[in-house]
């Protein structure tokens, strides 16, 4: 059929009309696309550019090297040693099994290690290094390096790890570091990103924990460009971190090592304090533990050995344990009574061996009694009745106040873990905590450091230091941080009558220098070094009337756990006091037999800054002391050689 | 219907036809393809392999195909329109049984030297068939219900086959292109009103069907729609692609980050950077200016097509030219909407720029038809 020209024209008109409409719609849509493009690329360009940069740039942290810890003479206590590990990059190794088999011939690799490494490789990207062996020896690393051509993808890496060359000696003071745990992270409100680096070590206890901020330093960072699957394409820039600050302690590591060796396996603690500024020269708790085991991740077996030891090696007894101070508290009672003016040093009290207070009979340790007692005699022979009498005159409130002025019942701010407050009881305390009124018997018990009274060996040392100097001296453990000396505070005068203090010191002098003194056996012969001290024996059990009737069982016949604690505090030299020492031997029996000899050895060691001449000891002790000095010197030498060779 | 109505004696013949080609369109097509080569070179990290060089070869092949098609008189193509349509339909059916599946969509038949996607072929075959149909249909019957139903069947049969492949992008393209062809041919407005209303109803039915046993779309298709509506619901899964694509485009700014300096594409954050999302690489590296330049090139091609169609007194020719232009428009409009986050990701390549053989060859053949219609237009 033939088209009419009219039809053709009509068709043409319609097609072109609708074509125009459609063309217009198309153009409109293109305009929309253009606007959208403008919106994204011009208006929102900055936001998108930022997102693109965030995609592309990854911040990688460079862990800082941890500050080291030194003793007062600059000897190292906590060091960083290179720790080697072997890593493998899956994509470079190609045949992982074959390479792993070859590697196992050079480095100790258990089937577990291989299994774990394989699992980790399967999880992570092929270009990321996976640790195959951790803490390998330098020899093993050398063997791997020599055989590098046969070990594609195997890369030895070096990092820094904490090491404590003196092992047990400083464990309770310095503590240890370990990998960051979830609980550590929870401690911080906004944990620093560096804490999330795998295997990053932070302080867990002791100085390592309390000076964590200073020791850690600041992490460096490098910005790297990564692609969509996280492979690093290139390093853009790098900011070096700051190493942590070094911390210097007031401790003398020779003395501390000696003390630790002297205590041996005894369950005991010793605090030695310098009287000038309160510097702690030694603060040792025995038995101790090896902090290096914790740094590496302690095995369950090792840990349970520590846990199950009844002498509690993990406890830092110098600060976290509080004991009844026993007779060492008598200075407090005496000072309180003199300060209150209810008694003068020469007033005498008759000791018949016991005293009856409100129907209850309180015994003196000497059943037959001491007879007439004044301050010096009572302290020298440790008469109990004299102090019962004083306490009844002065009252508990004054005793408690005096005790607090002497630093008991107070947390001394030193950066160790779990520092205890001890306990100085008074009427209000008993009502609040025991829900019972204070009775006069409590005062009597407290007067000789029994009953509720508790104090830590550190507090005992502070008390002795304050008695020796008359100043409110406080302990200091950190000498300097990053070379900047921490504030030194000689302490304000406490405001006690100087005459009373002198009388007390003189009485303490008789304790260890008078033939009838309880610590006469532990006297020092050297005239310029003589010490003034006080023994203490604190009961860990009540002696019943029936028991007393049968005759009190001797300590040696009791099981270890039930024996008395032995205490001794002293300062020396008497004429020019330089140091204060406090010793506690758990379940050691009597203070004069178990604690005083240790205190004397430590005092002499501290004053002579090394082994003292045998002439400082009484003649009959010299042979024994010579042997002891030799034995301890050998022990320390062995340990030091061992420790340094590892470091 | 007869070509005798044409003034054949004024139509150029022999090799002289080459002089009468619509040369501006050839130049524009080459310019667009050139942008494609440049971007493929860039996303490969500055090498011709593996994408830029094969793409160039295909473009040359396409150019030859275009010339060959252009030299054949348009009335031959008109007479062949239904044969080609039936052939494409046959291939669509055949591919259901013998075709291979790649990337969860688009089936192809391996011809040895290239992979033929019958769905691509169908895009041009449908336009030809509809143009021929309306050329044959007397004008007064255009809106007759029976004669409206016929082209609808022509559109729906291949659409249905393509959906089952499943290739949602191509199906939408076929449906839209077919519908707009009918609109161009002059079908009454009312029909489109009904279709739009029905479409809205159908759309709600599709969403209602989700999770029932008569579910109309595959799960992944539903997920793509979800992701489009709110990319943040799946920032690491499907939403990741569109988010990264938008970052690439937005970070380009006015002038872009420089040739081969686009971090999003160079570091592989951008997905499918050499195919569907190649426009984002362009926008990232050459910025708003670069993206707009390509858009202008596309618009110019459209303008030349529309002008050529309006000059053409032959109904088949002008419908065909407008239809090809329309298909071309739908290609880049859908792709760009998709990569700018205006439409769900349906897998439509950017015409002549995205890496891919079938689409480019089919488009070049389509432009060959446009050229043929232009050369052989009645004067």
B168 and B119 in contact (C-beta within 8 Å)? no
The verdict on whether omega for the bond into residue A520 sits within 30 degrees of 0, i.e. cis, is: no
Task: Return the bridge partners of A69, or none.
Answer: A78, A247
What mean pLDDT, rounded, does chain B reach? 86
pLDDT at B6: 56
Q: Which of residues 325-354 of B touch A (CB under 8 A)?
A: 326, 329, 333, 336-337, 340, 342
With bands split at pLDDT 50, 70 and 90, how would you rate the model's confidence at B28?
Answer: very high
Contact at CB, A42 and B342, closer than 8 angstroms: no
pLDDT at A179 over 80: yes
A151 in any annotated domain = yes
Q: Percentage of residues in chain A with pLDDT exceeding 90?
A: 52
Whole-number pLDDT of residue A222 = 83
Q: What radius of gyration, in Å, describes the C-alpha atoms of chain B?
A: 21
A1 domain-assigned: no
Domain co-membership, A420 together with A406? yes
CB contact under 8 A, A229 and B336: no
Q: How confident is the model at residue A82 (pLDDT cuts 50, 70, 90)?
A: confident
User: Same structural domain for residues A136 and A192?
Assistant: yes
- Burial class (CB within 10 angstroms; exposed 0-12, middle 13-18, buried 19+) of B7: exposed
| Chain B contact probe: residue of A8, A23, A34, A223 with most B CBs at under 10 A | A23
Tell me the pLDDT band of A553, cut-offs 50, 70 and 90. Answer: low
The verdict on residue A10 lying in a domain is no
B96 interfaces chain A, CB cutoff of 8 Å: no
Residue B112 — pLDDT band, cuts 50, 70, 90? low
> Which pLDDT does position B233 carry in this prediction?
64
| Mean pLDDT along residues A391-417 | 93
Pairing between β-strand B105-110 and β-strand A371-373 as defined by DSSP bridges: unpaired
Would you call B287 an interface residue with chain A, using a CB distance cutoff of 8 Å?
Answer: yes
How confident is the model over B170-190, as pLDDT tens digits? 888 999 999 999 998 888 888
Residue written as tokens 């005992």? A460
Q: Residue A212: which residues within 8 A CB-CB, separation 6 or more?
A: A202, A203
Cβ of B268 within 8 Å of Cβ of A44? The answer is no
User: Cis omega (within 30 of 0) on the bond before B369?
Assistant: no
Residue A332 pLDDT more than 90? yes
- With CB atoms and an 8 Å threshold, state whether B283 touches A56: no
Q: Residue A402 burial by CB count (10 A; 0-12/13-18/19+): exposed, middle or buried? A: buried
A213 and A335 share one domain: no
A12 with B322: Cβ contact below 8 A: no
SS3 sequence of B238-298: HHHHHHHHHHHHHCCCCCCCCCCCCHHHHCCCCCCCCCCCHHHHHHHHHHHHHHHHHHHHH
**Which residue on chain A is closest to B241 by alpha carbon?**
A228
Over range A256-264, report the average pLDDT: 93
Does the pTM of the predicted model rise above 0.90? no
d(CA B55, CA A601): 93
Taken in order B51, B52, B54, B58, the sign of the CA dihedral is positive
Q: Would you state the pLDDT for residue B5?
A: 55
Residue B105 has pLDDT above 50, yes or no: no
SS3 content of chain B, % helix, strand, coil (to 5): 70, 5, 25
**What digits encode the pLDDT tens for the residues A588-645?**
888 788 999 999 999 999 999 999 999 899 999 999 999 999 999 998 888 877 765 5
Residue A172 domain-assigned (yes or no):
yes
Considering the domain architecture, whether residues A419 and A563 belong to the same structural domain is answered as: yes
Residue A36 exposed, middle or buried by CB count within 10 Å (0-12, 13-18, 19+): middle
In DSSP terms, which residues pair with A485 in a beta bridge?
A480
Q: Are B242 and B270 in contact (CB under 8 A)?
A: no
Give the residue, A11 or A532, on which the prediction is more confident.
Answer: A532
Asked if A194 and A219 count as a contact pair (C-beta separation under 8 A), the reply is: yes
The distance of A25 to chain B (nearest Cα, Å) reads: 11
Question: Does A509 lie in the same domain as A431?
Answer: yes
The answer on pLDDT for A502 being more than 90 is: yes
Q: Are residues B270 and B39 in contact, defined by beta-carbon separation less than 8 angstroms?
A: no
Question: For residue A542, what pLDDT band results from cuts at 50, 70 and 90?
Answer: low
Q: Can you read off the two tokens belonging to residue B77? A: 């193509």
Three-state secondary structure readout of A232-298: EEEEEEEECCECCCCEEECCCHHHHHHHHHHHCCCCEEEEEEECCCCEEEEEEEECCCCHHHHHHCC
Q: What pLDDT shows up at residue A1? A: 43
Name, in order, each residue with C-beta under 8 angstroms of A540's C-beta and a sequence gap of 6 or more: A562, A563, A564, A565, A587
Residues of chain A in contact with residue B138, where contact means CB-CB under 8 angstroms, are 7
Same domain assignment for residues A448 and A507: yes
Rounded distance, CA A205 to CA B155, Å? 79
CATH of the domain at A429: 3.40.710.10
CB B256 within 8 A of CB B284: yes
Element (H, E) at A130: strand A129-136
Please name the residue that has the structure tokens 């195959």: A132
Three-state SS for B353? coil
Under 8 Å CB-to-CB from A493, ≥6 apart: which residues? A470, A471, A472
What tens digit of pLDDT does each residue of A29-68 get? Answer: 999 999 999 999 999 889 888 888 888 887 778 888 899 9
Q: How many CB pairs under 8 A join A and B?
A: 135
* Dist CA A509 CA A523 (whole Å): 10
Q: What is the pLDDT of residues A476-492, one digit of tens each?
A: 999 999 889 888 888 89
For residue A158, list its beta bridge partners: A84
φ and ψ of A52, to 5 deg: -65, -40
Residues contacting A128, CB < 8 A, separation 6+: A89, A90
Q: Cis peptide leading into B321, omega within 30 of 0?
A: no
State the pLDDT at residue A549.
64
Half-sphere exposure of A322 (CA within 13 A, CB side): 19
pLDDT at residue number A250: 95
Model confidence at B101, pLDDT cuts 50, 70, 90, reads low
Nearest chain B Cα to A5, which residue? B5
Query: Is A303 within the bounds of a domain?
Result: no
Q: Locate tokens 């020492």: which residue?
A: A581
Task: Supply the pLDDT for residue A543.
Answer: 63
Structure tokens at B69: 């098609």
pLDDT value of residue A413: 85
For chain A, percent of residues with pLDDT exceeding 70: 96
- The token pair at B241 is 């692609």
DSSP state for residue A64 in the 8-state scheme: P
From chain B, pick out residues whose CB is under 8 angstroms from the CB of A11.
Answer: 139, 186, 315
Q: Do A439 and A409 sit in the same domain of this protein?
A: yes
Question: For B247-264, what is each residue's pLDDT tens digit?
Answer: 999 998 899 888 888 888
Query: Which of A200-209, B31-40, B287-296 is predicted least confidently?
Result: A200-209
Cis peptide before B166 (omega within 30 of 0): yes
Given a cut of 70, whether residue A106 has pLDDT beyond it is yes
Given a cut of 60, is residue B212 above it in pLDDT?
A: yes
**Cα distance between residue B75 and residue B81, in whole Å:** 10
> In sequence order, which residues have a C-beta less than 8 Å from that of residue A197 and are 6 or more positions away?
A61, A63, A219
* Cross-chain residue pair A22–B254, CB shorter than 8 Å: no
Mutation choice for B interface testing from A40, A47, A225 by most B CBs within 10 A: A40
Residue A420 resides in a domain: yes
Which pair of structure tokens corresponds to residue A182? 């979830």
Structural domain boundaries enclosing A72: 59-249
Please give the structure tokens belonging to residue B296. 């202008």
- pLDDT of residue B103 exceeding 80, the answer is no
CATH of the domain at A93: 3.90.1310.10
Cα A401 to Cα A496: distance, rounded to the nearest angstrom: 12
Distance CA B125, CA B309 (A): 18
Neighbours of A193 (CB within 10 A): 11
Average pLDDT over residues B45-70: 92
Contact B186 A22 (CB under 8 A): no
Helix or strand or coil: residue A548?
helix
In a domain, A6, yes or no: no
Is pLDDT of A80 > 70? yes
- Chain centroid to Cα A127, Å, comes to 41
For chain A, the average pLDDT equals: 88
Cα gap B259→B255, rounded to integer Å:
11
pLDDT of residue B297: 96
pLDDT of residue A593: 87
Please tell me the number of Cα atoms within 13 Å of A203 on its side-chain side: 27
Instruction: Please check whether residues A262 and A400 belong to one and the same domain.
Output: yes
Contacts of A184 (CB under 8 A, 6+ apart): A195, A202
How many domains are contained in chain A?
2
Residue that is written with structure tokens 């008694």 in the block: A343
What gap in Å lies between CA A252 and CA A606, rounded to an integer?
9
Q: What is the pLDDT of residue A544?
A: 61
**Mean pLDDT computed over B120-141:** 91
pLDDT at residue A327 tops 80: yes
A398 in a structural domain: yes
Cα–Cα dist B311/B319, whole Å: 12
pLDDT at B4: 47
A217 by DSSP, 3-state: which?
Answer: coil
**Structure token digits, residue B314:** 């032959």
Torsions phi, psi of A344, nearest 5?
-115, 160
Residue A215: CA count within 13 A, CB half-sphere: 25
Q: Are residues A240 and A265 in the same domain?
A: no
Last residue in a domain, options A249, A276, A304 = A249
- pLDDT tens, residue by residue, A433-485: 988 999 999 999 999 999 899 999 999 999 999 999 999 999 999 999 988 98
Q: A328 with A455, same domain?
A: yes
Residue of B2, B267, B303 for testing the chain A interface, max A β-carbons within 10 Å: B267
Q: Could you read off the pLDDT of A352-366 as tens digits, one per residue?
A: 999 998 888 998 988
The catalytic site residues of A sit at 327
Q: ∠ CA(A472), CA(A474), CA(A479), 5° rounding?
A: 140
pLDDT over 90 at A507, yes or no? yes
- CA dihedral of A415, A419, A423, A428, whole degrees rounded to 10: 80
Same domain for A612 and A504, yes or no, is: yes
**What pLDDT score was predicted for residue B2?**
44
Rounded to an integer, what distance in angstroms lies between the CA atom of residue A643 and that of residue A165?
Answer: 5
Q: Please indicate, yes or no, whether residues A233 and A282 belong to a single structural domain of this protein.
A: no
The candidate with the shortest Cα–Cα distance to A271, out of A173, A368, A194, is A173
């Amino acid at each position: 059929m033939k088209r009419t020209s009219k039809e053709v024209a009509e068709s043409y008109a319609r097609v072109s009309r609708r074509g125009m409409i459609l063309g217009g719609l198309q153009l409109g849509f293109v305009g929309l696309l253009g606007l959208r493009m403008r919106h994204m690329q011009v208006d929102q360009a900055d936001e998108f550019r930022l997102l693109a940069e965030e995609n592309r740039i990854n911040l990688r942290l460079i862990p800082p090297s941890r500050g080291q810890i030194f003793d007062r003479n600059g000897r190292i206590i906590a060091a960083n040693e290179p720790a080697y590990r072997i890593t493998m990059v899956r994509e470079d190794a190609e045949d992982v099994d074959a390479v792993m088999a070859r590697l196992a011939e050079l480095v100790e690799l258990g089937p577990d290690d291989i299994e774990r490494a394989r699992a980790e490789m399967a999880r992570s990207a092929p270009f990321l290094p996976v640790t195959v062996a951790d803490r390998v020896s330098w020899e093993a690393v050398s063997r791997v390096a020599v055989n590098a051509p046969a070990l594609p993808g195997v890369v030895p890496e070096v990092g820094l790890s904490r090491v404590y060359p003196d092992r047990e000696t400083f464990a309770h003071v310095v503590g240890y570091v370990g990998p960051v745990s979830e609980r550590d992270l929870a401690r911080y409100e906004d944990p620093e990103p560096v804490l999330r680096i795998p295997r990053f070590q932070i302080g867990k206890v002791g100085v390592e924990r309390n000076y964590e901020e200073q020791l850690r330093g600041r992490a460096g960072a490098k910005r790297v460009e990564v692609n969509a699957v996280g492979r690093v394409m290139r390093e853009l820039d790098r900011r070096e971190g700051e190493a942590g600050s070094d911390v210097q302690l007031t401790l003398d590591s020779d003395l501390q090592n000696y003390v630790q060796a002297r205590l041996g396996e005894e369950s005991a603690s010793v605090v030695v304090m310098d009287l000038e500024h309160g510097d702690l020269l030694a603060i040792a708790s025995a038995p101790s533990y090896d902090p290096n085991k914790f740094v590496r991740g302690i095995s369950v077996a090792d840990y349970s050995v520590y846990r199950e030891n009844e002498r509690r090696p993990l406890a830092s007894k110098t600060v976290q344990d509080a004991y009844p101070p026993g007779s060492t508290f008598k200075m407090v009672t005496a000072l309180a009574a003199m300060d209150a003016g209810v008694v003068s040093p020469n007033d005498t009290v008759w000791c018949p061996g016991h005293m009856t207070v409100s129907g209850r009979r309180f015994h003196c340790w000497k059943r037959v009694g001491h007879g007439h007692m004044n301050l010096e005699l009572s302290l020298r022979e440790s008469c109990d009745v004299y102090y019962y009498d004083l306490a009844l005159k002065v009252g508990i409130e004054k005793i408690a106040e005096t005790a607090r002025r002497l630093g008991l019942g107070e947390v001394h701010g030193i950066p160790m873990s779990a520092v205890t407050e001890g306990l100085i009881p008074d009427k209000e305390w008993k009502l609040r905590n025991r829900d019972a009124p204070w009775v006069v018997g409590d005062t009597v018990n407290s007067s000789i450091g029994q009953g509720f009274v508790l104090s830590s060996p550190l507090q005992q040392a502070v008390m002795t230091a304050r008695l020796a100097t008359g100043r409110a001296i406080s302990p200091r453990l950190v000498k300097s941080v990053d070379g900047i000396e921490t504030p030194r505070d000689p302490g304000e005068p406490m405001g006690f009558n100087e005459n009373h203090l002198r009388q007390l010191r003189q009485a303490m002098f008789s304790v260890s220098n008078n033939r009838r003194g309880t610590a006469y056996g532990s006297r020092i012969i050297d005239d310029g070094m003589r010490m003034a001290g006080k023994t203490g024996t604190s009961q860990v059990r009540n002696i019943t009337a029936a028991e007393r009737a049968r005759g009190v069982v001797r300590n040696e016949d009791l099981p270890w756990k039930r024996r008395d604690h032995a205490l001794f505090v002293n300062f020396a030299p008497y004429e020019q006091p330089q140091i204060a020492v406090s010793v506690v031997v758990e379940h050691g029996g009597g203070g004069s037999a178990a604690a005083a000899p240790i205190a004397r050895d430590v005092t002499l060691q501290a004053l002579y800054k090394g082994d003292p001449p045998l002439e400082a000891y009484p003649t009959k002790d010299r042979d024994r002391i010579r042997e002891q000095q030799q034995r301890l010197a050998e022990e320390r030498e062995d340990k030091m050689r061992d420790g340094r060779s590892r470091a | 219907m007869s070509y005798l109505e044409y003034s054949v004696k004024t139509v150029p013949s022999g090799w002289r036809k080459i002089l009468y080609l619509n040369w501006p369109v050839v130049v524009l097509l080459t310019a667009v393809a050139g942008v494609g080569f440049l971007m493929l070179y860039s996303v490969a990290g500055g090498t011709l392999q593996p994408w830029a060089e094969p793409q160039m070869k295909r473009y040359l092949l396409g150019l030859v195909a275009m010339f060959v098609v252009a030299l054949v008189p348009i009335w031959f193509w008109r007479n062949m329109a239904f044969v080609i349509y039936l052939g494409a339909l046959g291939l669509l059916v055949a591919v259901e049984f013998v075709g291979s599946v790649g990337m969860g969509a688009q089936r192809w038949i391996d011809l040895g030297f290239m992979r033929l996607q019958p769905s691509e072929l169908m895009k041009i075959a449908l336009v030809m068939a509809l143009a021929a149909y309306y050329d044959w249909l007397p004008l007064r019957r255009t809106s007759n219900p029976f004669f409206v139903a016929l082209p609808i069947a022509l559109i729906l049969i291949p659409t249905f086959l393509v959906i089952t492949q499943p290739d949602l992008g191509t199906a939408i393209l076929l449906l839209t292109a077919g519908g707009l062809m009918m609109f161009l041919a002059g079908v009454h407005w009312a029909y489109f009103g009904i279709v739009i209303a029905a479409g809205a109803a159908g759309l709600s039915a599709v969403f209602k069907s989700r999770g029932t046993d008569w579910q109309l779309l595959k799960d992944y298709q539903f997920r793509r729609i979800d992701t489009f509506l709110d990319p943040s619901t799946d920032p690491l899964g499907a939403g990741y692609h569109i988010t990264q694509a938008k970052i690439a485009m937005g970070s380009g700014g006015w002038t872009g980050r420089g040739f081969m300096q686009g971090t999003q594409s160079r570091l592989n954050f951008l997905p499918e950077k050499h195919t569907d999302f190649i426009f984002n690489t362009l926008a990232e590296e050459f910025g708003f200016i670069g993206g707009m330049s390509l858009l202008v090139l596309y618009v110019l091609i459209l303008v030349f097509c529309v002008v050529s169609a309006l000059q053409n007194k032959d109904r088949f020719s002008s419908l065909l030219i407008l239809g090809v232009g329309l298909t071309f428009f739908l290609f880049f409009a859908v792709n760009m909407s998709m990569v700018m986050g205006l439409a769900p990701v349906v897998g439509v390549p950017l015409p002549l720029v995205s890496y891919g053989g079938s689409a480019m060859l089919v488009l070049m053949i389509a432009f060959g038809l446009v050229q043929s219609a232009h050369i052989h237009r009645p004067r």
